[in-house]
Amino acid sequence: MPRVCIYGKRYLFYDVFYGEGFNLKRDVYIRIANTVRLLRDPSQIPNFALHDINVKNLTGEDWILVLPPWGPLPHWFNDRSYERYTNHSYFNNWSGIPWSMFFDLNSLSLFIPVMDLIEFQRSNVLDSQQSLLNRSSNHPLTIDLALQLVRGDFNEKLGQYSNVNNRKVDFCPFELRELYRLNDSTLSSSSSFSRPIELFEGSSFNLQNGILPMTASAYDCITGDLEPVHLAPFLIQLIKNSEKPITTLYLDSAQSIIHGHWSEWSQEYWTVRRSITIAKHLRDIGDNYRGAYLHSNDISDRTVSPSIVEHLGPGSSWLRPQWPLSPALGGPYVAVHWRRGDFVTTSTNATTTTVTTTSRSPNNVSAAQQILNAVKIFNQYEDHYIDTIYLATDANKEELENLKSLLYPLQVFHFEPTESEWISYGPGGSAIIDQWICAHARYFIGTSLSTFTYRIIEERSIMGFLLNTTLNNFCSNGPIYLYKPNYYNTELSTCQSLTEWPVIYEKQYTISSSSSPSSLSPMINDELLSNEYIKDDL
């Protein structure tokens, strides 16, 4: 890969709609990270996405991604499995949570430079580069430009915005754009104008979490085919043609960005996904639980992680092409993700007072039967009988206890954080610990259409688990769906199956023992762009 031509630092901020789930927001990061990849190195933009722009006119800039704080997410307070802990006095503990609480920033920074928002605000960027952010004691920190993202474009005949894949990005139609197109002069000329975009909505800026509120000098709106390969060249041109310098840029409603050409079937998707490594302190809690209750450890499970790349240090093991003992075996238990919560809805007929329940996951009786059937089939291929179930669920206490009784004599384990763990890591940390334990099981049963399940499947795929141990899922009315039923010689299920996406390794982000430094990405090869340098520079 050619060396990126890097000029002065620029900072990209983004946020996702407040109501989106924890696991979907992790997916949005992949889309944003691939956009930053192209902002840093436009030579990677495919020709079909240039729209008559000469790639030679697109210069890579030293973009750093500033990560939005986590929480408090609405569903964290509706998680029925943690009713005994649900206390709104924890609200401040779960607001403004840095990414480093959940993920390894060293790993992320080996793909693109990243930093937490709180780190950005506390760094001497504010003191040594006043042109980046205008700060005063009476006003919030100010970003140069905030863009509202609107997926699709306006259909005049329908009178609404539709998800039309027009293969390019542009400014919003006039009427919509005027709702957002404000700048400092407009805002200062009249007190009647309110800011059209609330930056980092729901992040609860307060003295306790130390995050300062932020606003923008100018606002605008863009729409169209919002995928990285089309979005990046538009942003580069927008900044190049701007009358005022733009060194800080904010993208609102980033969930509107789609993977597009770089979806799960692409090496670009998997490069970013591989770099999302769970924070060590959460992995340690999960590993200790596995050892204490599930007779599981990395040696016997064949889940020893790859070695780090010595010259890159901690967080670099994801760059290895595969886990050393793969195919993984997993611990002697079956992990089950039984999604309830928002997958179960009830409605009442006002006339007859009849209550109707609609569910995208099985009730406890059906779930128990599907688990028992699966365990019976799995054990046909085991030398030692597996009688242990690890359950990750948002079911309430009554449902959980009822399911346990229906699964007897199988042993059922369910991670419950200590009071201190709950206060420290909250629902987000507990969910990741659940996923880490599920990822190490001999067999996994998930809930179709759940992003919680998808993240577990991705972890298992990266570890090197076989597909028949991973792509098994509940059906709302049964029977259970098992990967390639003919393999297990069981009845066919008619419900939606989990999708098979093999891990694809991108050459410049994959290091084997024989890799030479010259074959690696400049982000990895050039120590001036390493995470260590970024921290020192700030």
Is 178 among the domain residues? yes
Residue 29 to residue 399: CA distance in whole angstroms: 34
Instruction: Tell me, yes or no, whether 225 and 370 share the same domain.
Output: no
Q: 409: domain CATH number?
A: 3.40.50.11350
Q: How far apart are CA 58 and CA 237, in angstroms?
A: 8
Domain annotation covers residue 286: yes
Asked if 267 and 339 sit in the same domain, the reply is no
DSSP string, 92-115: GGGSSB-GGGTB-HHHHTTTS-EE
Residue 478 maps to a domain: yes
Residue-level pLDDT at 86: 53
List of long-range contacts for 516-519, beta carbons under 8 Å, 24+ apart: none
| CA–CA separation, 475 and 483 (whole Å) | 13
Q: Give me the pLDDT at residue 155, please.
A: 53
Total number of domains in the chain:
2
407/444 same-domain check: yes
Shared domain for 306 and 400, answered yes or no, is yes
* Of the residues 272, 307, 325, the one at which a domain ends: 272
Residue 341 to residue 325: CA distance in whole angstroms: 37
188 and 291 in a single domain? The answer is no
Q: pLDDT tens for the chain, 538 residues: list them.
A: 333 444 579 999 999 988 888 899 999 999 999 999 999 999 999 888 887 777 667 778 899 999 999 977 766 765 555 555 555 555 556 778 899 999 999 999 999 999 999 999 888 554 444 444 544 444 578 899 999 999 875 454 444 445 444 568 999 998 889 888 876 555 554 444 577 888 887 665 655 667 888 889 999 999 998 999 999 999 999 999 999 999 999 999 999 999 999 999 999 999 999 999 999 999 999 999 999 999 999 999 999 999 999 899 899 999 998 899 999 999 999 999 998 877 665 444 445 544 444 577 899 999 999 999 999 999 999 999 999 999 999 988 899 999 999 999 999 999 999 988 988 888 899 999 999 999 999 999 999 889 999 999 999 999 999 999 999 999 988 899 998 755 665 666 668 788 889 999 999 999 986 544 445 554 454 332 333 322 323 2
Question: Is the domain of 342 the same as that of 365?
Answer: yes
- Provide the 10 A C-beta neighbour count for residue 501: 18
pLDDT of residue 423: 85
Domain final residue, candidates 220, 241, 272? 272
**DSSP structure class, residue 213:** P
Residue 293 host element (H or E): helix 280-293
130 and 141 Cβ atoms separated by less than 8 Å: no
Give CA–CA dist 197/204, Å, rounded. Answer: 15
Element (H, E) at 169: strand 169-171
260 and 331 part of one domain = no
Residue pair 246/140 in contact by the 8 Å Cβ criterion: no
What's the CA gap between 446 and 457, in Å, rounded?
A: 9
Same domain, yes or no, for 268 and 283?
no
Residues 201 and 296 in one domain: no
Cβ atoms of 334 and 446 within 8 Å: the answer is no
* Residue 530 maps to a domain: no
d(CA 116, CA 444): 33
Pick from 217, 241, 272: which residue ends a domain?
272
Per-residue pLDDT at 396 = 87
211 plus 312 within the same structural domain: no
- Residue whose C-alpha is closest to residue 264's, from 536, 14, 500: 500
Residues 254, 257, 259, 260, Cα dihedral to 10°: 180
Whether the Cβ atoms of residue 269 and residue 462 lie closer than 8 Å to each other: no
CA distance 27 to 273: 8
Tokens linked to 365: 């009786």
User: Domain residues for 442?
Assistant: 279-509
Residue 483 lies in a domain: yes
Do residue 437 and residue 309 come from a single domain?
Answer: yes
Q: Quick check: is 514 in a domain?
A: no
Residues 228 and 109 in one domain: yes
DSSP state for residue 145 in the 8-state scheme: E
What's the rounded Cα separation, in Å, for the pair 206 and 511? 43
CATH number where 32 lies: 3.40.50.11340
DSSP class of residue 40 equals: H
Does a structural domain hold residue 93?
yes
Q: What is the pLDDT of residue 37?
A: 97
Residue 99 located in a structural domain? yes
d(CA 420, CA 240): 50
What does pTM read for this prediction?
Answer: 0.87
